Amino acid sequence: MENNSPQSASDKIPFWRDIRVLRVLFQVSFLIGVILLAGILYTNMLRGLRGLGLTLNLDFLNDEAGFGIAEGIAYEPSDAYLRAFWVGVVNTLRVSVIGIVCATILGLVIGIARLSSNWLVRNIAAIYVECFRNIPLLLQILFWYTAVILQLPSVRESFTFFGGVFINQRGVYLPSPQPTSGVKIWIGCLAVGFIFALALYLVRLRKLRQMEQPGFAAKWALPAFLLVAILGWFLIPGKPFTLELPALKGFNFAGGIYFSPEFAALLIGLVIYTGAFIAEVVRSGIQSVAKGQWEAAKAIGLSEFQTLRLVILPQALRVIAPPLTSQYLNLTKNSSLAVAIGFPDLFNVGNTMMNQTGQSIPIFAMIMMSYLFISLTTSAYMNWYNRRINRIGR
Partner 1 sequence: MADLENTSEDSIIICEDVHKWFDDFHVLKGVTTAFKRGEKVVICGPSGSGKSTLIRTINRLEVHQRGRIVVDGIELSDDLRNIERIRQEVGMVFQQFNLFPHLTVLQNVTLSPVWVKKVAKSEAESEALALLERVGIEEHAHKFPAQISGGQQQRVAIARALAMQPKIMLFDEPTSALDPEMINEVLDVMRELAASGMTMLVVTHEMGFAREVADRIIFIDEGAIVEEAVPAAFFDNPQHERTQLFISQTLQH
Strands 171-174 and 257-259: antiparallel
Q: Least distance (Å) from partner 1 to the CB of residue 123?
A: 21
Q: Least distance (Å) from partner 1 to the CB of residue 206?
A: 15
The answer to whether the beta carbons of residues 280 and 326 sit under 8 Å apart is no
Q: Least distance (Å) from partner 1 to the CB of residue 287?
A: 16
The answer to whether the beta carbons of residues 264 and 149 sit under 8 Å apart is yes
Pick the closer one to partner 1 by CB: 5 or 213.
213
Pick the closer one to partner 1 by CB: 55 or 390.
390
Q: Least distance (Å) from partner 1 to the CB of residue 389?
A: 9
Pick the closer one to partner 1 by CB: 11 or 212.
212
The answer to whether the beta carbons of residues 167 and 158 sit under 8 Å apart is yes
Q: Least distance (Å) from partner 1 to the CB of residue 294?
A: 9
Pick the closer one to partner 1 by CB: 90 or 302.
302
Pick the closer one to partner 1 by CB: 172 or 324.
324
Pick the closer one to partner 1 by CB: 297 or 340.
297
Q: Least distance (Å) from partner 1 to the CB of residue 25?
A: 43
Pick the closer one to partner 1 by CB: 184 or 298.
298
Q: Least distance (Å) from partner 1 to the CB of residue 234?
A: 34
Q: Which residues of the chain form contacts with partner 1 (CB under 8 A)?
A: 211-215, 290, 292-293, 295-303, 306, 310-311, 314-315, 392-394
Q: Least distance (Å) from partner 1 to the CB of residue 201?
A: 18
Pick the closer one to partner 1 by CB: 52 or 211.
211
